[in-house]
Amino acid sequence: MGVLVALAGALIASASVTSAATITVTTESDLFAVGPTGCSLRRAINAANVTA
């Protein structure tokens, strides 16, 4: 039991810290065009998946 607790503690201590970026949706239109056309929800999800 003690080994299991020590292993769990080591795994928790070694967990990496990640940061999150904020992507602001600026239009209700379903756009995916490249350029300064605003940021649709579809484009924000794609950006989050690409940078993950």
Apex 12 CA angle, 48 and 1, nearest 5: 145
Separation CA 44–CA 50 (nearest Å) = 10
Structural domain count of the chain: 1
Residue 52 in domain: yes
Residue 13 in domain: no
Range of the domain at 35: 21-52
For 8-52, what is each residue's pLDDT tens digit? 555 565 555 567 788 899 888 887 766 677 888 888 898 889 876
What tokens were used for 24? Answer: 């602001």
Query: From the DSSP assignment, how many helices (H) and strands (E) are in the chain?
Result: 2, 0
Residue 38 in domain: yes
What is residue 18's predicted lDDT score, i.e. its pLDDT?
A: 65
What tokens were used for 6? Answer: 């020590």
What tokens were used for 33? Answer: 């065009």
Residue 30 in domain: yes
SS3 32: coil
pLDDT top residue among 1 and 22: 22
Residue 6 in domain: no
